Amino acid sequence: MTRIGLIRHGSTRWNQEGRVQGHTDNPLDEEGFRQAGVLAERLSGEAWDYIYSSDLLRARQTAETIAGRLGIPLAGLLPDIREMNGGLIEGTTESERIERFGSQWKTMDLKLESQELARERGVRAIEELAARHPGSNVLVVSHGAILRSTLAGLVPSLDVSVLLKNTSITCLVNENDSWSCELYNSAEHMDG
């Protein structure tokens, strides 16, 4: 059995402002570092063998914080789990999108990465990790939209309509080449 813990990165200033981040390489804000530390404390009571991260700074900083607390090295950066490309809406808030493109902006071709392409690259990355580390417990720090697309590809019956919270963890198990989800969007560590 291989266990994959999918983590959404900690908070950034753009998260607080409601801006689409996409490929923009934003750092964590003070709250994001705090969130990563609280999650690391939660995970310290569990056995994790490896931690990987998206190549974007906010995910990498989250992963480095967790890796330092758990005493495991950052095993690698995975470009295939970077956030979905936000196209022409990257860096904008909802009100700015409506002002710029109109209230029907979601129906327009604004050069966003498709769900299908994101799902394919995310699923490929997670399946490659599972094949590389069979029988291991692997953490992966990534981003909300790409994680939800990936989860929909790996566990099609899973309801991924609820947005992932910053530093939430979702745990997948792979047994006999079949994926199941044992925990979705868990952020109880942030309640205290």
Cβ atoms of 19 and 52 within 8 Å: the answer is no
Identified catalytic residue from 41, 83, 116, 133: 83
Element (H, E) at 176: none
188 is catalytic: no
83 is catalytic: yes
Which DSSP state fits 120? Answer: H
Q: How many domains does the chain have?
A: 1
Over residues 73-83, the pLDDT tens digits come to: 999 999 999 99
Structural domain of 27: 2-86+114-190
Q: Which long-range contacts (CB under 8 A, 24 or more apart) does 116-124 make?
A: 118/84, 118/145, 118/146, 118/149, 118/150, 119/149, 119/150, 119/152, 119/153, 120/153, 121/80, 121/81, 122/80, 122/81, 122/146, 122/147, 122/149, 122/150, 122/153, 123/150, 123/153, 123/154, 124/80
Over residues 12-22, the pLDDT tens digits come to: 999 999 999 99
Residues 6+ apart with CB under 8 A from 63: 7, 51, 52, 53, 74, 139, 141
Identified catalytic residue from 9, 90, 113, 143: 9
Task: Please check whether residue 45 lies inside any domain of the structure.
Answer: yes
Cβ atoms of 89 and 24 within 8 Å: the answer is no
Confidence of residue 192 (pLDDT cuts 50, 70, 90): low
Averaged over 168-184, what is the pLDDT? 96
Task: Please check whether residue 23 lies inside any domain of the structure.
Answer: yes
CATH code for the domain of 29: 3.40.50.1240
- Mean confidence (pLDDT) of the chain: 97
Over residues 110-159, the pLDDT tens digits come to: 999 999 999 999 999 999 999 999 999 999 999 999 999 999 999 999 99
* Amino acid 191: pLDDT: 84
Task: Please check whether residue 103 lies inside any domain of the structure.
Answer: no
- 138: burial class by Cβ within 10 Å (0-12, 13-18, 19+)? buried
